[in-house]
Chain A
Amino acid sequence: MTDPEILRYTQETGDFSRMLESIPYATWIGLQCERFGDDLIFRLPKKESNLGNPILPAIHGGVIGGFMETSANIYLIMSRESLRMPRIVDFSLDYLRAGLNRETFAECRLTRQGNRVANVMVTAWQKSRSQPIATARAHFLLED
């Protein structure tokens, strides 16, 4: 993922496949990303191995966290000119509804970018964007 060539390719083409392939964890949970104009929408397809609670069944809260965290990271890389990876400092996650065994989406917003630290908000939803299943915010350290 630190490979500048892959980053340049992704920024130019909007094709995230090579970038995602370079992050084993993202591939493993099945994370996908699509660009719509300037917006990025992240997608986590339904996947049995991502489940936690077997009764509902529901996606493991940690996977929802990992999905949102990775989304924030990719979003930040794409919104910056730099080729270095931002390093996550902290991550705060509010679970609003159970993430059921279905497709999940996420979008990010750069709340504030300083010289060294960026604050990113992430919202995740399933059937309806107006009913988020989780919201999160993360701080990243930016080093060039």
Chain B
Amino acid sequence: MDNQTRIDQLTRFIETLNQARELGLSVTDAGDGTLTLCLPYSDRIIGNPDTGVIHGGAITTLMDTTSGCVILCALEDFELCPTLDLRVDYMRPAHPHKPVYARAETYRITPNIIFTRCEAYQEGDETIANCVATFMRIGKEASPKHYRDLIAGGVK
């Protein structure tokens, strides 16, 4: 699968996730087992209005989405994998009015479990948070065919 195909599939997939769409998440970069998503700044995800710093929950959603989506960049066929656990370490608050990026990689794939790690950062590469997660493989048949076809966009 080439990277443009990956980006197209991921964009279609993210479009189906209400919360990710509402947050305005978009694909910045995708490769073999790697993915970067972008979370734009917006007023409604602010945690502290005095400083304008965005809420940790939005960062958690960004990292959960990126970690879950990077699986699409690692597997041949689309497979929905539920999150088993997620651990986020917050390094520093994000600078207000700037987008936050998250880059994730799958570092181990087994028939049952997928292990990912993810880093949230801003311009200048300052780390905002780190995250490790595990996902359970329930098989591609667990998602209806029409949905898989929608994501694949008719391309195999």
Residues of A within 8 A of B (CB): 1-2, 22-29, 48-55, 59-63, 65-67, 69-70, 85, 87-95, 98
For residue B136, give the distance in angstroms from its CB to the closest CB of chain A.
9
Q: Which residue of B lies closest to A91 (CB)?
A: B88
A66 near B55: Cβ-Cβ < 8 Å = yes
B147 near A62: Cβ-Cβ < 8 Å = no
**A52-B19, A60-B19 given; A24·B49 CB < 8 A:** yes
For residue B84, give the distance in angstroms from its CB to the closest CB of chain A.
6
B46 near A24: Cβ-Cβ < 8 Å = yes
B19 near A62: Cβ-Cβ < 8 Å = yes
In the assembled complex, B5 has its CB within 8 A of some CB on chain A: no
For residue A42, give the distance in angstroms from its CB to the closest CB of chain B.
13
A25 near B83: Cβ-Cβ < 8 Å = no
Q: A60-B19, A65-B86, A66-B61 are in contact. List 7 more A-B contacts (CB 8 A).
A: A50-B18, A55-B143, A55-B144, A61-B64, A65-B57, A70-B55, A70-B57
Alpha-carbon distance A27/B54, docked complex (angstroms): 13
For residue A15, give the distance in angstroms from its CB to the closest CB of chain B.
19
**B65 partner residues in chain A, CB cutoff 8 A:** 52, 60, 62
B88 near A66: Cβ-Cβ < 8 Å = no
**A70-B55, A90-B87 given; A62·B22 CB < 8 A:** no
For residue A59, give the distance in angstroms from its CB to the closest CB of chain B.
8
Alpha-carbon distance A85/B48, docked complex (angstroms): 10
| Most B Cβ at <10 Å: residue of A23, A51, A52 | A52
| Most A Cβ at <10 Å: residue of B48, B55, B84 | B55
Among candidates B16, B45, B82, residue contacting A25 with C-beta atoms closer than 8 Å: B45
Alpha-carbon distance A48/B56, docked complex (angstroms): 21
Alpha-carbon distance A49/B89, docked complex (angstroms): 26
**B44 partner residues in chain A, CB cutoff 8 A:** 24-25, 27-28
Q: Which residue of B lies closest to A52 (CB)?
A: B17
B60 near A65: Cβ-Cβ < 8 Å = yes
B45 near A24: Cβ-Cβ < 8 Å = yes
| Most B Cβ at <10 Å: residue of A27, A51, A65 | A65
B47 near A25: Cβ-Cβ < 8 Å = yes
**A23-B55, A66-B57 given; A95·B83 CB < 8 A:** yes
**B18 partner residues in chain A, CB cutoff 8 A:** 48-52, 54, 60
**A87 partner residues in chain B, CB cutoff 8 A:** 90
Among candidates A23, A85, A89, A93, residue contacting B86 with C-beta atoms closer than 8 Å: A93
**B57 partner residues in chain A, CB cutoff 8 A:** 25, 29, 62-63, 65-67, 69-70
B47 near A23: Cβ-Cβ < 8 Å = yes
Q: Which residue of B lies closest to A31 (CB)?
A: B57
In the assembled complex, B113 has its CB within 8 A of some CB on chain A: no
Q: Which residue of B lies closest to A94 (CB)?
A: B85
Q: Which residue of A lies closest to B19 (CB)?
A: A60
